[in-house]
Amino acid sequence: MSVGNGSRFAARPIATGGTPADEWIGWRRPFPELDLDDCPALVLVAPHPDDETLGFGATAATLRSRGIDVQVVSVSDGGGAVPGLSRVERTWLEGARRAELHRATEILGVSAPVCLELPDGELSDHEAALSDRLTGLLAAGPKGTWCAATWRGDGHPDHEAVGRASAAAAERTGAALLEYPVWMWHWAAPDDDCLPWHRMSRVPLDSVALSRKDRATKMFRTQLSPYHPEADAILPKAVVRRLLSVGEVVFR
């Protein structure tokens, strides 16, 4: 089981940029390739609307293009992205993020997402219920269904909670658990001794899938543009560039 990295994530605020994309791009470690032919179906679990696209969107698009069923499960309502909102403002943001997610999944070519609408920022309080819900979704799929979820060591508390709940559901159902990092690329560094590199596999992706991911990412305008004129974007350009350039990997 992965150990949480919340303290490491907290120590590197998003506004600081984190580890530059070029450091990761220039790092060439020979990870084994993930064999997509082994996937009978995919349940892609994301803590917030956009994590599925940024972390595993090109893989989802590739699998769907091969005729594999792909179901995105968006766990939170996404309303906690901007602190200090009124109830009305938060309701608007939640609706906007759901709409962005639907547009993004259409571009990726996958089924309409299942939106559980649990409270953004509080997912650790709902792990048991989430695990039960995911158990039902995984049990309904074919034997050996892949469950791709954010890595249990990703640093963001919601990401780690989703990873733990998904791991429990996969164990109950016999699903194959794949954990994809999102914020690891921000706070970690190449050859970081604390990361389980021996468990990592890289996904082989072509230009078509990567283009779909790029176009789908652009749908998340609430995250890419400042909510207020004096504020920064929730996802700064450096963060998005890094996630679009490092490829997609999983811990197995």
Q: What is the DSSP letter of 174?
A: T
Query: What is the CATH code for 6-251?
Result: 3.40.50.10320
- How do residues 102-126 score in pLDDT, each as one tens digit? 999 999 999 999 999 999 999 999 9
- Closest residue by Cα to residue 57 from 252, 246, 222: 246
Average pLDDT of the residues in 134-162: 98
Estimate to the nearest angstrom the gap between the alpha carbon of 1 and the chain centroid. Answer: 18
Confidence of residue 28 (pLDDT cuts 50, 70, 90): confident
Structural domain boundaries in the chain:
6-251
Confidence of residue 238 (pLDDT cuts 50, 70, 90): very high
Helix ranges (H only) for the chain are: 6-10, 21-25, 51-65, 87-108, 127-139, 157-173, 184-187, 207-217, 221-224, 237-245
- How do residues 36-78 score in pLDDT, each as one tens digit? 999 999 999 999 999 999 999 999 999 999 999 999 999 999 9
Model's pTM, two decimal places?
Answer: 0.96
Q: Where do we find the tokens 């914020």?
A: 183
At 2 the pLDDT is 56
Query: Phi/psi zone of residue 146: left (φ > 0), alpha (ψ -120 to 50 degrees), beta?
Result: beta
